[in-house]
Amino acid sequence: MLKQERVDYILGKLQELYPQPPIPLQHKNPYTLLVAVLLSAQCTDERVNKVTPALFQLADNAADMARQTPAKIREIIQPCGLSPQKSKAIAGLSKILVREHDGEVPADMELLETLPGVGHKTASVVMSQAFGVPAFPVDTHIHRLAQRWGLSSGKNVTQTEKDLKRLFPKQHWNALHLQIIYYGRECCSARGCDGTVCEICRICYPNRKHAKKTRKA
């Protein structure tokens, strides 16, 4: 199967399986999404969703969160891991949003990336899921599957993002990002599939006999 044939098949299959993929992190506005995405670094979405109700009961907007101490925030978010850094980042970015953006999350990739604890992936998620701006955040699931499906050389997530943006039409990026994540979790996980087990891997590479080794992000 040629690369474009794989691209077309994968896009069609994922749209069939996940026609309207929900955003996995529970939130109610761009600010709570930003905080939830920040907390999800090296942590599962499931655990984040267990922690955020208590956090957002304490403060669900930048102004209220800016009045909290990092220590108070850390008490709540500790189960998510990296709580010292994450609590400082949440407190810090909240103060910046109040001081420089009237308490609102800016719909601007470059401005988002200047906030404490907000890297390119986090900013991309917020731009795509909160503001509907086409973006293609690459996490470990997407990085792994892009290699298994022969869509990227996969040397790093930056290269993977560039390759996927080049291959798939922009209007599909936001949904496709979520669709690949769901498929990676449910059908083509790191341990559940080695590039020869799941349906997409088998259809794209029917003659593959050995496990596909993937470079870590």
Residues labelled catalytic: 121, 139
Cα–Cα dist 26/212, whole Å: 34
Contact 47, 24 (CB under 8 A): no
Q: How far apart are CA 131 and CA 27, in angstroms?
A: 13
Tokens (6 digits) for 58: 């304490």
**What span, in angstroms and rounded, lies between the C-alpha atoms of 174 and 159?**
18
Give the Cα separation of 174 and 15 in Å (integer): 12
Other Cβ atoms within 10 Å of 99 Cβ, number: 11
